[in-house]
A and B are shown apart, each in its own frame.
Chain A
Amino acid sequence: MQRFNFPVIQPDPALEELRADLQAFLKQERDAGNFKPEPECWMASADPEFSRKMGKRGWIGLTWSSQYGGHDKSALERYIVTEETLRAGAPVGAHWIADRQHAPMLLKHGTEEQKLDILPRIAAGECYFAIGLSEPGAGSDLANVKTKAEKVADGWKINGQKIWSSGAHISHYMVALLRTSPADGRNRHVGLSQIMIDLSLPGVTIKPIVDLSGDAHFNEVYFEDVIVPEDCLLGEEGGGWAQVTGELAMERSGPERFLSSYITLETALWQLSGKLGSDSQARLGKLIANLRTLRGMSWAIANLLDQGVSPETEAALVKDLGNRLENDLTQQVRAMLDDLPSDQWSPDMRRIMNIGVLRSPPNTLRGGTTEVMRGIIARQLGLR
């Protein structure tokens, strides 16, 4: 009996055709100067125009039905799109979150009207979502959320504050975890619900938070007597905790957990072509072995998810290993670049490397910190 379940999937030629189309598009866009590649592009590089181009080509909303503007494809095709855009460091941040988690959430819990209204706009690359989990007093201790939704005559009245909401300033909606009834004694997991909030409603205030590099891609979002219609409750009233933890488990194993910094390696490899010393070659060998292995794990999980299996432990393992690898990659590439005098680095190399270093701290925080991941893994091992 083996403890970990990672099936090996044989290559599928149809997926490789899709990959080739993506590569051609991304190269053309980059060569035309329509984007500059960046590490962590799925979080920090948002460009609505680029998202609309992706939408036009049918590369957003791959997995849902054409009835809702989707493309009736599998999660594996979506995986190819995500890994190719990450590799290219393309500005996919505007639509990423809506495509990854909120559209599936709406498909599962939304009303027919919401699905018909919102999903086609997401697939077109025109409608963006922000995540509303963290609050000033609720980070890793997520169950401590205080923002409240009260039932009122015309729906839900929301008061409170969310924080660290990436892309909220360009998003149309937020799906927030809110307290809809008090905790049951020490059981704080009851009484939490997920509610979709139109961010253009009166009473919503979005304030940018500037990160250490001067970029402003995440926000504080305040709610003051914001009224949303009753049907904006997604899923079960009081069932928010189980829904959120289930979703988090699904999204921990994607390629963005280990490929966010790949653009740094690839840029360096073009720069260092023919100049890699033996020490750098050894670093390259190890990095590629690690990347190939993690890609195998992440791809295996994508296949399991596609078959309706949710391997929570494996997903947490991938996130912990992957986040470590992303940061290690940046450091290994720094060392490899010693083979080329720094005055010979291209401006792109320096820019990408510096962005990579500056954007490394949140890798091991978002989507559940390293410490939270290890707690989950330990529980699965039977240690907690």
Chain B
Amino acid sequence: MINTEGMVAETAAKIYTDLCGREVPHKAEAGEYPQALWNALTENGLPLAWVSEANGGFGAELDEVVGAIWASAQAASPVPFAETLVANWMLDRAGLAPADSSASFAISGRTPSADIPFGMHADKIVLFDETHQEISLFDNRLAVRSPEAALSPDGMTQFIFSGHVAEQSARTSLSRRAVEAMILTVRAVQMAASMETALNLSIDYVSQREQFGRPLSKFQAIQHQLAVAASECAAATMAATQAASAIIRHSDDPEQAWHEAVIAKVQIGHSVEAVTVPFHQVHGAMGYTQEYDLHHHTRRLWAWRDALGNEHHWSKMLGAELALTSPDQIWKGVTTGHWVAS
């Protein structure tokens, strides 16, 4: 269960309730960016929640913030709130000041470009450069941005880093695995929240829609599809909770949370098809329309499962790592969550 108590989570939940009703993601997609929502988040300092006090943030506990991310994903946030949180966390971990506006992030190793979520809306891009062990801040507004045929309404943009001068840059003690652990955990929380919201939409829809003289919810074929989807949603919540718990426990050394974060990615990534198929199926053609809300969640789920490598990529990464350890170590990890890097 994701902790949704505490000032940060409750403030974020209230802002999303007040300023991100069901019409807001629709309007955002039609080009009406919800500036009021973004302003409310920044006026309350929420994108700085994970920034240390020394760096101008308020150094909130990690678990107070995951509840805020849950609230944002429930509302199908059309502003890069979670992305800015992560970007600012990365900057902070390099001793850099947080971004003064919205931001997104990328990890780069050998390639000069990266897929950036919210690439068209985030003002800044924070890059983790593994080769130089550096965190850099780029101005996204100056970049040549190429919106691809994106799965998600938030868009995915190619950013060519070579030839651009970073506004700030500093060495970081964060390892690639530490950055991956954080990003995968945040995504897991978003995905679990989004799945649960789409489940709720589906339950409401089948309870109201009548065919053959009775609500769809009374058909066993419908009940069983949604029961299976619900179990996948519950597992997603568990996996996200476990990952969040690991990163909270290891906030000084997030690399230690890598296995639990990857497990969440693999578990939830594989569940996306198992939930989005029945959600769309029970909605019939209505769920395929732009007018209806379901796609605000299902399209984000399809995009998020691909982000930073899809579930197949991460299954291989995890399996390759586990193949180097003994079955005794694997069992220890399964039962205690204590994983040893090979």
Residues on A close to B: CB < 8 A? 1-8, 10-11, 16, 19, 83, 87, 266, 269-270, 273, 276, 278, 280-286, 288-297, 300, 314, 317, 320-321, 371, 373-375, 377-378, 381-384
Contacts and interface: CB of A to CB of B under 8 A. Distances in A.
A282 B227 contact: no
B318 A285 contact: yes
Interface stretch (B79-87, B114-122, B136-144, B236-244): B236-244
Contacts of A278: 316, 320
B337 A317 contact: no
B44 interface: no
Interface in B162-206: 196, 199-200, 203, 206
Nearest to B63: A8
Given A292-B333, A374-B223, A383 B319 contact: no
Contact of B327 (A11, A266, A293, A296): A266
Dominant secondary structure at the B interface: helix
Given A6-B1, A281-B319, A285-B322, A381 B203 contact: yes
A297 to B, nearest CB: 5
Contact of A6 (B203, B207, B238): B238
Given A83-B335, A378-B226, A288 B263 contact: yes
Interface of B: 1-2, 4, 70, 196, 199-200, 203, 206-207, 217-218, 220, 222-224, 226-228, 230-235, 237-239, 241-242, 245, 249, 260, 262-264, 266-267, 270, 311-312, 314-320, 322-323, 326-327, 330-331, 333-338
Given A2-B2, A8-B242, A283 B319 contact: yes
Dominant secondary structure at the A interface: helix
Contact of A383 (B222, B311, B330, B338): B222
A384 B196 contact: no
Given A382-B203, A383-B217, A288 B335 contact: no
Given A281-B323, A300-B238, A383-B203, A3 B196 contact: yes
Contact of B227 (A10, A11, A286, A381): A381
Contacts of B218: 383-384
A319 to B, nearest CB: 9
A212 to B, nearest CB: 27
A286 B268 CA distance: 10
25 contacts: A1-B4, A2-B196, A2-B237, A3-B230, A5-B1, A269-B330, A281-B320, A281-B323, A284-B323, A285-B320, A286-B315, A288-B263, A288-B319, A288-B322, A293-B263, A295-B335, A297-B238, A320-B227, A321-B235, A374-B228, A375-B227, A377-B227, A377-B231, A383-B226, A384-B218
